[in-house]
Amino acid sequence: MKHEIIRVRHELRRRDLEVSRVEYPTPGMLRMTLTGEELEGFHSPSADDHVKLFIPQPDGEPAMRDYTPRRYDAQTQSLVLDFALHDGGPATLWARAAKEGDRLQIGGPRGSSIVPHDFDWWLMVGDETALPAIGRRLEEFAPGTPVTTLVAVEGPEEEQALATQAAHRPLWVHRPLAAASDPAPVLQALADLSLPEGEGFVWIAAESRVAKAVRAHVTNVWGHPKQWLKSSGYWKLGTKDSHEEFDD
């Protein structure tokens, strides 16, 4: 079967939005709802798209960070973003202090990589920073789609209830945040994992070292086709504003 991954570009537009709600799905995850008429025409066709946030700073020059559109509702003109509170960067600090009525500018998405839903099964591997994309993708799967998610989080309190109509097998790995760049716990879980028969797609997003190691395991140990895999380093220990793609 031919599985065609489509890459599209979008018109760039900067939008000024208002914070309408702040909540905590888990102690380490902040969920923010942004609203505004400028969301008219917002388009995000892929679950792992990124929008650019222009975070207000005291010196007047905004800090820019990439975040996943967790959910968008065109009728209510609302956009949901999830912030993993694992660091003290400008986006996290701003989100912690944000309240209803605050303003935030966003740009993008610049482009999308659209993976078709015609694979026999899916495996999604990630950490806290990948949960927005994983949660969104799970909501978008067709009913009955076989999906396994393997997510590394700090502890049971960070395990999110992920709504889906897919045939979902959720697996969690617990490790301290201080060990978030150590691939060993995730690799051990992968070694114990069995996958369905057929042609599957593997999606990986985590700290760069972990994402690289998982990708190597999937391609070198399992022999999974590289063209049916997407691997990203959503952050890198010791590096500000890092985002790396590891696909050939």
Q: Annotate 92-120 with three-state secondary structure.
A: HHHHHHCCCCCEEEEECCCEEEECCCCCC
Contact, 30 vs 82, CB < 8 A?
yes
Contact, 45 vs 112, CB < 8 A?
yes
CA gyration radius for the chain? 18
DSSP 240: S
Give exposure, 30-45, as e/b (b: 16+ Cβ within 10 Å): bbbbbbbebbeebebe
Do 125 and 106 lie in a common domain?
no
- pLDDT tens digit at each of 248 positions of the chain: 578 889 999 988 999 999 999 999 999 999 999 999 999 999 999 999 999 999 998 888 899 999 999 999 999 999 999 999 977 789 999 999 999 999 999 999 999 999 998 999 999 999 999 999 999 999 999 999 999 999 999 999 999 999 999 999 999 999 999 999 999 999 999 999 988 899 999 999 999 999 999 999 999 999 999 999 999 999 887 677 666 776 65
Residue 154, domain extent: 117-245
Helices (H), ranges, 33-72: none
In a domain? residue 1 = no
Counted domains in the chain: 2
Q: Which of 79, 111, 143 is the last residue of a domain?
A: 111
Q: Which of 111, 146, 178 is the last residue of a domain?
A: 111
What is this structure's pTM?
0.94
Residue 22, by phi and psi: left (phi above 0), alpha (psi -120 to 50) or beta? Answer: beta
